[in-house]
Every structure is written in structure tokens, then in C-alpha cells.
Structure 1
Amino acid sequence: MSSVNQAIAALFAEGQPVPSVHEAAPEPAQTATLSYVFFSDVRKDISDQQKYAFVRELVEFADQNGFEAVYFPERHFAEFGSIFANNALMAAYFAPLTRNIRLRSAAVTNTLHHPAAIVEDWAMVDVLSGGRVDLGFGSGWNKADFILSPDTWEDRSRLRNERIPVIQTLWRGGQVAFKGPHGETFETRVYPRPLQPELNIWYTTTSEAGFKYAGAHGYNVFTMLMNGDLDSLQRQITLYRQARSDAGLVPQDGIVSLLQHAFVHPDLDWVHQVVRAPLLDYIRSNVSSQVRAGHLALDRDGIDKTAEYAYTRYFQQAGVFGSPAQARAQIDRVIRAGVNDVVLLQDFGVDYAAVRETFPHLIPLVNHCHTAAPRSTTLV
């Protein structure tokens, strides 16, 4: 397989039929919530101050219109996503500016930070927000990020898993022994104490093994349609529910959150006009990051070909794009696959004024998610 085809296969499942955006939506599987996630800030024509101001607009819009949560990423040492270098700081800024939404990480790279430091930072946010913090955890994928913690790169997957229970213990007020100078051990309890006695955990994964692990340990899941295939996602969610059941947990209590790029407006031609160039640039930036990290081997032409293919797949199958009716149809598809929280991404380079035009069309989607007809999910 060529490098371009390998890259396309990594982003989207080849050979999968692309449903028409005009098809009737199937009955959704369950009720759900609508949330926001931030990730990219790829625009180079505006200042970082303007980017932060736009994030504030979206967060306050979400807080005032029934959204469930806002998810903040952690990005380091690259222009792509650079305004999100510290998601605890972002959440702390929004704690007094919001009243309703949950403040979530998507995700804290816990392999880069001491567990006690993570709990200290986010316990402060929990107090400042009145108890609205949830934490997602990732293992990290960009090698350059690990200048912050060089010794944890090789074992990052194992360490991510080992550190989550440590963070939970500290959050609950328990003591954990950590090594200090000269090998001396210190029994450590973290202050200030958070308001929430228990921390809600999101496990960031796109793999079948990750879904099983999250289910077995009682974690929620934050995921993306890396291959654009809802059938595969539904299988992963079924395995997740089964893993919860096997662990003695209520299968349906776990939350599966799915990232979906979004731009909703009745004028489909205008949607394409607004979305095409920035979404292509966004995909190119993302693929280029993977190339720099050594995960893909592509030249400029290969990156462009991958982006062109991915754009069509994103628009027709892996995002909430088009008219309100088309958006409802896509949301129903992902809810029917078992998703509990549809997480919209709008900061992928689209003109800010155009994004504001979508606000009135997003509000009905919140109610649509809340009133979707329930349908049971069968365990394997």
C-alpha cells in the first residue's frame, strides 16, 4: 500500500459506503447531551488574543444554551493548537465566567506531569467552579512534548493507566507515597481539597483495547471517528458496555463522548464555501503533525491528496455539517451507535463571523439530543 493510501486508511476506513446526507435519519439509540471541544486554533491571520476571545464566545454560548460540557486539550511546542498549552489554566479562567457547563480536559497528558501536581491544579478549578471538573487522560503521542518528562516516553501507555488510580486516590483525600530528594519518601496528601468527593474520569482512546480497558475500570470514554466508520464505533461501544458488565458495573452508566467537526446552516452551498478551505487546512495541519511525529511518511503531494480525500469523508460521514435536518440526521446516527455525548468542534479555522451565524441552528440540536427516543443496546 502506498504512503498516501496508508495515511487515508489511518484516517478513514477504505471501502466503507458513504451515506447520503439527504437520507432519512434512523431512530436514535438513546438520549444524549451536546458539548463543545477545542483543539486547533489553526488560523494565522489573527492574534492569540482574538483566538482566546473567540473561545470565550463559544464557551459562554454553550453555558447559556444547555450544552453539557466544554473540553479543553493539552498541546505543546507546536503552532497547531498552541493556545491550549495548559488546559487547567483555561478551565480556571472559565470557572467564574460560567455557571452550568462541566469543565473537562480532553485530555491531560498525565505522563508529562506529576500526579500530585495534576490534582493540585484541578482541585483549585473544582473549587473555583463550584464542583464542575471532569478529567480525561491521554498517554501522549508527540515525542517532542516529552522534553517535559523524558523518562516517561517509552512506557507512556502503561504509565497513563497506572497513574489514573493514583490521581483518583489523591482526589479522594488519600495519602500516596512519593519519592523526593535523595530517595526519601514523602507521604503526600494534596490541598486544596476539591468539592467533588469523586472524580469523573474520561479515557481518551480510539482502539478496541482502549474501549475494553475503560469499561473494565469504570471510566468514561472520549473518542474520535479516526476511520469515519460508525459500524466500527458501535462495535467498540458494545464491547465497552460488556466490559463494564463483566466488571460488575451498570453497563449503561458509562458515558461515550464523540468528537464531531460541526458547521450547521440551512444554506448548504454556503456551508461548503465556508468550510472547505479551512477544513482542508485543518486536515493538512493534523496530517503534517503526524508526519513530523514519525507516524506517517508523506511528502507535500501526499499530504494534499490525503487531505482532499479526508475532506469528503469528514463532510459526509464524520461531522455535523449542512442544514439543521442534516445535522439532526448525523446526530441520530451517532446516538444510535451508542454515543452519549456529541462533542462539537468548531475552531478548525472557519471564519468567526460565520461560526456565529450557526448559533441559532445549534440551540434546537441541544433539545433534539435531550428528547431522542430511547432504545436499548444489546450486549454481546
Structure 2
Amino acid sequence: MVPTVEQLLGLEAAPAPAKPAMRFSFLFFSDVRKDRSDAEKYAFVRDVTLFADREGFEAVYIPERHFHEFGSIFSNPAIMAANLIPQTTRVRFRTAGISLPLHHPAEVVEWWAMNDVLSNGRVDLGFGSGWARGDFILAPDHYADRRQICSDQIPIVRKLWRGEAVTFPGPDGEPVAVTTHPRPIQPELNVWLLVTQSDEGFIHAGRQGYNIFTMLYGNNLEVMARKLALYRAARRDAGLEPAGGVVTLMLHTLLLDDRTRVRRAVEEPFSGYIKSALDAHLAAAAKDRGGEPPNEAEKAKILDYAYERYFQTGALFGTVEDGRAIVEQAIAAGVDEIACLLDFGVDYAVATESLGYLARLAEVYRPRA
């Protein structure tokens, strides 16, 4: 049984405003399929976004990825959002997340303020420090200090969003005070911080009052519960409402009428998806440590373990009832929102069929009047 956040903190639950037991959103992240054109992949993103808008889902999360087939269709999330916004009326558009050290903060605010105006205030931004060395050809001097740069620049983005003037070095180092335009609809920017494993990352997000976007990369829900307890405690220590921040958890998702059908549908693409992600992450980690990546036999063992663990305990795979079991564990761990990842290689027809079952699951947790 996963302990509650209050049990982990050693606190009684403080009275809190009524809020949904669980919110549901969609996340687009990779789509590594080679049998579909990029145009077909974008069409799938559009179709899922329109479904989310029509069926009352909370948001769609768009990543930023560069120079690798894993996520290659998402090189600029602002452009993707600008295409989808006019086709929707209520769903929110979020990033998961902008690699902030790759960009000038004023540039980020300009792009997304435009989208905030176009969407009538339906933009929230998630940020990360970036991890792939190759991405940093866009900002080669920022790789070594990327985490600190990300931390330093988020408050600058928020100031610019509010309309405050911020001074930056211009030509020949001469300072230039900048106020960005157009002005966004929302006076304050809702911020998500991409955090996966580091306890310090969860604590930092809590102290700063950020929301969290996370995933079960190397964790399970019991471990996640302990990390979210640190986040809630950090919010409390900073004088913020402990339950006030939104914790969004990404889960790979496929719900059908039969668990065996789901296993058959996800086995090949999900294994390939995990392998593609592992190859990129293991290579980056080995480079940072100055060592060699695992050999093929070692990677095969890691892959087999990751597949079974994810299928059983770290994804919304199976029937609606299977999904409810995972959602209940996520609620107990302190998760507020699940971002459902569909584009990990499953056939589009099967993924589209899954949407109806996911809507049934979401309806169980939708707040009543």
C-alpha cells in the first residue's frame, strides 16, 4: 500500500479546497514509427488534441526535441501549439518542457505570449535544463551549467511575462532594457518544472512554488510518493500551501476491452520505444561520466526489466479496471494529474480505439457539481 503524502510528512491533512481527484491530459513525446510520414504523425497529434478539447481533458503537453529520431517532430513546441490552438476552444497548451538553456528568455516569452493571445489565455509553460549534448549546438557554452542556467532563467521569464523590464547585454556588452510584446492574456505564468529523479529537484520546485512534471524513469509509485512528500514539505517550509502545487505524472497509455489485446498491441512498439529512449539516455550518461555505454547484452537485460516493470506497474495498460488500479495508486502517491502518452509506436487505429476507454476512465474521476 502506497503511503499518503500526509503519512510521509507526519502531518494531518490540512483542509484544502475541493479539487478533482485526478485530472487527465495528453502528452506527445516521440512517435518513432518509420512506417508513417511526419505529416501523418502531426495529423495524429491534431486528432488527439481535438478529442481532448471535445471530451473535457485538461491539457495537451508538447515537448521540445532536437536532432534525434526520438521526438524529432517536436523541434519547436510553439509552432505546434500555434497550429492547434485555432482548432480548439478549451483545452490548455503546455510544454514538457522547453529546454530553457537553449534559448534567450525574451524569445521564449515572445513566442508563447503570442500563443496565449491566440488561445485567449490557455498557455502554461514547463521547463527543463536539457540533457542531450547534441542539442547544445544551439547554445554550446551553456551545457556544463545548464541546470543552474535553467534555474536562473525561469524567474526572468516570469518577470517578462508580467510586463516587467529586464536588462540584457546587447551589442558590445551594452545593457539593453527589454519589455516583451505582445502582452499575454494571463498576467501570471503557470510554471511546471521537469523533474524525474533528483530529490533536490523536487525540493527546489517546492520552494519556488512551481508545479511538477515527472515520470517513472527509474522509479515506481512508492518511490515517487517519497519524492512528492519532499516537494510538499518544501512548499510548506516556503510558506506556501502544501497541496497547492500540481503534480503531473506521465504514463504510457493504452486501454482496451482485453488485457491480452493490450499486451499484443504494445509489446513490439513499447520495447522499441524504451530501447530508443534508453540508447539516447545511456549514451549521454556515459559521456558525462567519461565511460563507455553498456554493451548489447547489458542493454538487453535493462530493456527486458524496464519493459516488464513498466507494463505491470508504471503505465496505464490493460482494461479500464486495470487503469483504475494504477490511478488509485497515483492518487495515494500525491499525483494530481496524469499525462497520457499515446504516441510511442502503437498503431494509430488501436491508439484511437483506446481513446474511448480512456474517456470512460477519466469520467470516473471527473468532479461532480
Q: Give TM-score, length-normalised by structure 2.
A: 0.91
1:191-246: CA deviation from partner (whole Å, max 9, x where unpaired): 00000000000011122111110110110000011124211111111111111111
2:32 aligned partner, one-letter code: V
Judging changes above 3 Å, is the alpha-carbon distance between structure 1 residues 223 and 276 closer, same or farther for their aligned structure 2 residues? same
Alignment coverage as a number of residue pairs: 346
Partner residue, 1:126: 116
- Secondary structure (helix, strand or coil) at the match of 1:134 reads strand
Q: 2:220 aligns with which of 214, 223, 229?
A: 229
1:143-193: CA deviation from partner (whole Å, max 9, x where unpaired): 110000011111111110000000000000000000011111100000000
In structure 1, how many angstroms separate the alpha carbons of the residues matched to 2:312 and 2:325? 11
In structure 2, how many angstroms separate the alpha carbons of the residues matched to 1:238 and 1:271? 33
Which residues of structure 1 form unaligned runs of 5+? 1-16, 18-28, 373-380
1:96 aligned partner, one-letter code: P
- Secondary structure (helix, strand or coil) at the match of 1:363 reads helix
1:61 aligned partner, one-letter code: F
1:310-367: CA deviation from partner (whole Å, max 9, x where unpaired): 1110100000010110011111110111100111101000000111111211112222
Judging changes above 3 Å, is the alpha-carbon distance between structure 1 residues 246 and 291 closer, same or farther for their aligned structure 2 residues? closer
1:259-287: CA deviation from partner (whole Å, max 9, x where unpaired): 00010012111111100000000001001
Partner residue, 2:79: 89
Q: 2:42 aligns with which of 46, 52, 58?
A: 52
Is 1:311 the counterpart of 2:315? The answer is no
Partner residue, 1:279: 270
Comparing 160-169 and 92-101, the one that deviates more = 92-101
Checking the alignment, whether the CA contact within 8 Å between 1:66 and 1:366 is kept in structure 2 is no
Checking the alignment, whether the CA contact within 8 Å between 1:39 and 1:73 is kept in structure 2 is yes
Q: 2:331 aligns with which of 335, 340, 356?
A: 335
Partner residue, 1:289: 280
- Secondary structure (helix, strand or coil) at the match of 2:339 reads strand
Q: 1:303: how far off?
A: 2.2
Q: 1:38 aligns with which of 28, 31, 45?
A: 28
Partner residue, 1:25: none
In structure 1, how many angstroms separate the alpha carbons of the residues matched to 2:233 and 2:366? 25
In structure 2, how many angstroms separate the alpha carbons of the residues matched to 1:369 and 1:85? 34
In structure 2, how many angstroms separate the alpha carbons of the residues matched to 1:75 and 1:192? 26
- Secondary structure (helix, strand or coil) at the match of 1:360 reads helix
Comparing 285-294 and 254-263, the one that deviates more = 285-294
- Secondary structure (helix, strand or coil) at the match of 2:87 reads coil
CA RMSD between the two structures = 1.6
In structure 1, how many angstroms separate the alpha carbons of the residues matched to 2:72 and 2:109? 23
2:56 aligned partner, one-letter code: G
Q: 2:104 aligns with which of 97, 114, 136?
A: 114
Q: 1:293: how far off?
A: 2.0
Q: 2:361 aligns with which of 351, 360, 365?
A: 365
- Secondary structure (helix, strand or coil) at the match of 2:73 reads helix
Partner residue, 2:289: none
Checking the alignment, whether the CA contact within 8 Å between 1:228 and 1:317 is kept in structure 2 is no
In structure 1, how many angstroms separate the alpha carbons of the residues matched to 2:143 and 2:363? 43
Q: 2:340 aligns with which of 344, 357, 361?
A: 344
In structure 1, how many angstroms separate the alpha carbons of the residues matched to 2:318 and 2:282? 31
Q: 1:324 aligns with which of 312, 320, 323?
A: 320
Q: 1:30: how far off?
A: 6.8
Q: 1:194 aligns with which of 184, 197, 214?
A: 184
Is 1:267 the counterpart of 2:258? The answer is yes
Which residues of structure 2 form unaligned runs of 5+? 3-18, 287-291
In structure 2, how many angstroms separate the alpha carbons of the residues matched to 1:222 and 1:69? 13
2:227 aligned partner, one-letter code: Q
In structure 2, how many angstroms separate the alpha carbons of the residues matched to 1:54 and 1:40? 12
Is 1:212 the counterpart of 2:203? The answer is yes
1:21-64: CA deviation from partner (whole Å, max 9, x where unpaired): xxxxxxxx971200100111110111100100011111111111
Judging changes above 3 Å, is the alpha-carbon distance between structure 1 residues 268 and 102 closer, same or farther for their aligned structure 2 residues? same
Is 1:163 the counterpart of 2:159? The answer is no
Is 1:148 the counterpart of 2:144? The answer is no
Higher relative contact order (CA 8 A, sep 6+): 1
Checking the alignment, whether the CA contact within 8 Å between 1:30 and 1:338 is kept in structure 2 is no
Checking the alignment, whether the CA contact within 8 Å between 1:88 and 1:122 is kept in structure 2 is yes
- Secondary structure (helix, strand or coil) at the match of 2:223 reads helix
Partner residue, 1:173: 163
In structure 1, how many angstroms separate the alpha carbons of the residues matched to 2:274 and 2:302? 8
Q: 1:66 aligns with which of 43, 56, 69?
A: 56
Checking the alignment, whether the CA contact within 8 Å between 1:95 and 1:128 is kept in structure 2 is yes
In structure 2, how many angstroms separate the alpha carbons of the residues matched to 1:228 and 1:39? 19
Q: Give TM-score, length-normalised by structure 1.
A: 0.88
In structure 1, how many angstroms separate the alpha carbons of the residues matched to 2:128 and 2:341? 19
Q: 1:133: how far off?
A: 0.4
In structure 2, how many angstroms separate the alpha carbons of the residues matched to 1:83 and 1:74? 9
